[in-house]
Amino acid sequence: MGLSYNDVRCLMEWRRDGRGGKVATLGHLNLALHSRDIAKLRLAFAHDTRALAWLDRYRWGDFATDMFREALGFDDVTSIDFSAYEGASIIQDIGAPLSPGLVGQFDLAVDGGTLEHVFNFPVAVGNLMRLVRVGGAVYTQNPCNSLAGHGFYQFSPELMYRVFSRQNGFKISFVRIAMARNLSVEQTTGQHVYDVADPAEYGGRVLLACGNPALMMSLAVKQADVEPFTRPVLQSDYVEQWSGKSSLQLNWKGRLLERMAKWLPFLPVMISGYRDRWGASVRNTRAYKRLW
Give the pLDDT confidence score for residue 257 in this predicted structure: 63
CA 71 – CA 80 distance, rounded (Å): 21
Please write the tens of the pLDDT for every residue from 25-42.
999 999 999 999 999 999
Residue 191 backbone dihedrals phi, psi, to 5 degrees: -70, 140
**Alpha carbons 94 and 161: distance in angstroms, whole number:** 21
The reported pLDDT for the residue numbered 268 is: 58
Q: How many angstroms separate the CA atoms of 223 and 155, rounded? A: 23
pLDDT in tens, the chain (292 residues): 699 999 999 999 999 888 899 999 999 999 999 999 999 999 999 999 999 999 999 999 899 999 999 999 999 999 999 999 888 999 999 999 999 999 999 999 999 999 999 999 999 999 999 999 999 999 999 999 999 999 999 999 999 999 999 999 999 999 999 999 888 887 778 899 999 999 999 999 999 998 899 999 999 999 999 999 999 999 999 998 888 766 556 667 667 766 766 776 765 566 566 678 888 999 999 999 999 9
Report which of 67, 31, 7 is spatially closest to residue 218, judged by C-alpha positions: 7
- CA dist 211 and 142 (Å) reads 17
User: How far is it, in rounded angstroms, from Cα 178 to Cα 12?
Assistant: 17
Q: What fold characterizes domain 2-238?
A: Rossmann fold (3.40.50)
Look at residue 274 in the predicted model and tell me its pLDDT: 64
Digit-coded pLDDT (tens) for 168-178: 999 999 999 99
The strands making up 170-179's β-sheet, listed across from edge to edge, are: 90-91, 76-81, 22-26, 106-111, 132-145, 214-222, 170-179, 192-196, 288-290
> In sequence order, what are the residues at sequence separation of 6 or more whose Cβ sits closer than 8 angstroms to the Cβ of residue 223?
134, 166, 169, 170, 171
Q: What is the pLDDT of residue 183?
A: 84
Strands of 180-290 (E only): list them.
192-196, 214-222, 288-290
Domain boundaries, the chain: 2-238
For residue 92, which of 104, 81, 105, 106 has the smallest C-alpha distance? 81
Half-sphere exposure of 271 (CA within 13 A, CB side): 12
Which residues have CB under 8 Å from 131's CB, separation 6+?
A: 24, 98, 102, 103, 104, 105, 106, 109, 138
Helix, strand and coil in the chain, % to nearest 5: 35, 25, 40
Count Cβ neighbours within 10 Å for each residue of 33-57 and write b for 16 or more, e otherwise.
Answer: bbeebbebbeeebeebeebeebbee
Quote the mean pLDDT of the chain. 92
What's phi and psi for 129, nearest 5 deg?
-70, -35
**Per-residue model confidence (pLDDT) at position 26:** 97
- Number of neighbours of residue 71 by Cβ within 10 angstroms: 23
Give the per-residue pLDDT at 210: 87
- The model's pTM is 0.90
Contact indicator for 167, 134 with CB cutoff of 8 Å = no
